Structure 1
Amino acid sequence: MRTRTAQDDAIYKLAAPIAEALDMEIVRIRVKSGKRQTVQIMAEKSDGTMDVEDCASLSRGLSEVLEETDPIRGEYNLEVSSPGIDRPLTAPAHFERWAGFKAKLELDRLVEGRKKFTGQLAGFEDNSVLIDLPNEDETALIPFDWIADAKLVLTDELMKADLAARGGPAPEDNSSGETP
């Protein structure tokens, strides 16, 4: 799921060793068409962080290799970024790491008459994503290979977890509805 096309895959094979040398993981690669193609690469460090300097380091390393190997026809822009708070989920470990948070899954086939599912992630087991869907008594198991796209849903809980992970202050509980 990190890649969708053969071209994305070729870029991933070039980018992954560079990212690993910088203690980073490639989360997703997409080549977007237009007047000038855009190569979008999302990455994060092993601790889940990714700042501007990290993006610049990865971008410099990738630029050299992409120039040498030229896997992209014509001119292109290279964009290196963090996955962001409502990040894509592209590897089994992502579903484990983000268990308990809300996610949207889009499948490559119909299951019970639909392709899109939203629910609480419950982990990863036997090559399947576990997800608790609304109005369902049992946890659904969706084969990882069936997932075309998956991402976290931006919720208050996710924002609090992200802030805490970055060492930010704990948000105040304003559940009383009073204005500070």
Structure 2
Amino acid sequence: MAKKQVKEIVEELLRDFLAENGYELYNVEFIKEGRDWFLRVYVDKLQNKDESWISTEDCEKVSRFLSEKLDETDPIPQNYYLEVSSPGLDRALLKEEHYIRFTGEHVEVKLYEPVDGRKRIEGILEGLKDETVLVTDEQNKTWKLPLRQIAKTKLAVVF
């Protein structure tokens, strides 16, 4: 089964449940590792819901619901392992909404091609404007990085 189809199935099965419980679907991965398939579902609390992060109990609640729905409908023909978790502290920013939500946070950006000799920029996410990500580094330089040039952006954990 195509990975995109699996993602759409999971989104459909979870849509109402997540909304009713104050969660959001952050990402879905359906990947093969060795001989095994893994359905990884990343959930978070709705932004602005409150200041807390999603808990283990929240993930368990989503996992039980989704597992039951997948067992009932059996939409995925091959065997797989279901994993439900938070996106983590160093979560990837995958959608434009993520860039908006995490404006003001410390990020690490990896680029496909170097910009001014650098393929990695770390700093404060200043926002997203016209499909361009703005990041201010420690030298107070603001980088304007087109989304199409970004290989990966993730929150940077600073100690």
TM-score tier by shorter-chain length is: 0.7 to 0.9
Cα distance in 2 for partners of 1:10, 1:78 equals 16
Cα distance in 1 for partners of 2:133, 2:60 equals 33
Q: Indicate the residue corresponding to 2:63 in structure 1.
A: 59
- RMSD of aligned C-alpha atoms? 2.5
Gaps of 5+ in 2: none
Which of 11, 15, 26 aligns to 1:20? It is: 15
1:68 aligns with 2:63: no
Contact conserved, 2:113 with 2:149, CA < 8 A, in 1? no
Contact conserved, 1:14 with 1:65, CA < 8 A, in 2? no
Map 1:1-180; keep pairs closer than 5 Å.
Answer: 7=3, 9-21=4-16, 22-23=18-19, 24-30=23-29, 31-46=31-46, 47=49, 49-63=53-67, 64-65=69-70, 68-70=74-76, 74-107=78-111, 109-112=112-115, 113-135=117-139, 137=141, 139-156=142-159
Q: CA deviation at 1:106?
A: 2.1
Gaps of 5+ in 1: 1-5, 157-180
Q: TM-score, normalised by structure 1?
A: 0.68
Q: CA deviation at 1:34?
A: 2.1
- Matched residues, number: 146
Q: TM-score, normalised by structure 2?
A: 0.75
Q: CA deviation at 1:77?
A: 1.0
Q: Return structure 1 stretches of 4+ with deviation > 6 angstroms.
A: none
Contact conserved, 1:42 with 1:83, CA < 8 A, in 2? yes
Structure with greater proportional strand content: 2
Q: CA deviation at 1:69?
A: 1.3
Cα distance in 1 for partners of 2:12, 2:79 equals 24
Query: What letter matches 2:11 in structure 1?
Result: A
Contact conserved, 1:106 with 1:149, CA < 8 A, in 2? yes
Deviations for 1:22-76, whole angstroms, at most 9, x for unmatched residues?
22322222324123222222111213632233212322343333762116xx322
Identical residues among aligned pairs (%): 30
User: Could you say what secondary structure the match of 2:12 adopts?
Assistant: helix
Cα distance in 2 for partners of 1:17, 1:142 equals 33
